[in-house]
Amino acid sequence: MKKHLQFAAVVMSMVLVTGCGFHLRSSPSLPDDVNTVVIESARAHAPLARALNKRLNVYGLNRVDVSDSASSSQNINIYLLPEKLERQLLSVYPSGQVAEYELIYVVRYRVQFPGKEAVLAQFEVVRDYQDDPDQVLAKSRELDLMLSEMRDEAADIMIRRLSSQATAAPALSTNQP
């Protein structure tokens, strides 16, 4: 009897999950002949470029250096524009000191797929940050960790967006006037 109840519970949960439209996400689908990425940045040694390099292997993509990119026209070219970190005040202590910020990490980049025009994209990663003036050292380390996590999340977002940007980019015109 217990097995029947467990089976019924599993079947009911599957029916509920599929009924609401939920489906598992697959890995990003890129054109089959494209699996290498060239990353360029407006700033040398940009932290976002390093985060993006770390995440490429997770998604099964290979990184190619800019100097080697001329050897293949089948690369995805990502050019990172300068990133921006904004702080917005959320709350203050009764003494007037800032208690909480909203950190907004703005990422802008241009991506170009083989045979297509470049697409400019932008998005934001937002976090709340509580500031404690009594623990300045700990809070500065926490802020550094939070920024690192925001960059990692931004890198994941960029890679996941590649499949939609591949279909959105218009093909380069071969007819020259």
State residue 114 phi and psi, 5-degree precision.
-55, 130
- C-alpha 49/C-alpha 39 separation (Å) is 7
* pTM, full prediction: 0.73
Q: Which fold has domain 28-168?
A: Double Stranded RNA Binding Domain (3.30.160)
Q: Of the candidates 114, 104, 113, which has an alpha carbon nearest to the alpha carbon of residue 154?
A: 104
Predicted confidence at residue 128, as pLDDT, reads: 92
Close Cβ partners of 142 (under 8 Å, ≥ 6 residues apart) = 129
Q: Write out the chain's pLDDT in tens, 177 residues.
A: 777 778 877 777 777 766 665 555 555 556 566 678 899 998 878 899 999 998 888 887 888 877 655 545 678 899 999 999 999 988 888 888 888 989 999 999 999 988 888 889 999 999 998 887 777 777 788 889 999 999 999 999 998 888 777 776 677 655 444
136-168 vs 47-56: helix axis angle to the nearest 10?
A: 60
Q: Of the candidates 60, 79, 54, 59, which has an alpha carbon nearest to the alpha carbon of residue 69?
A: 79
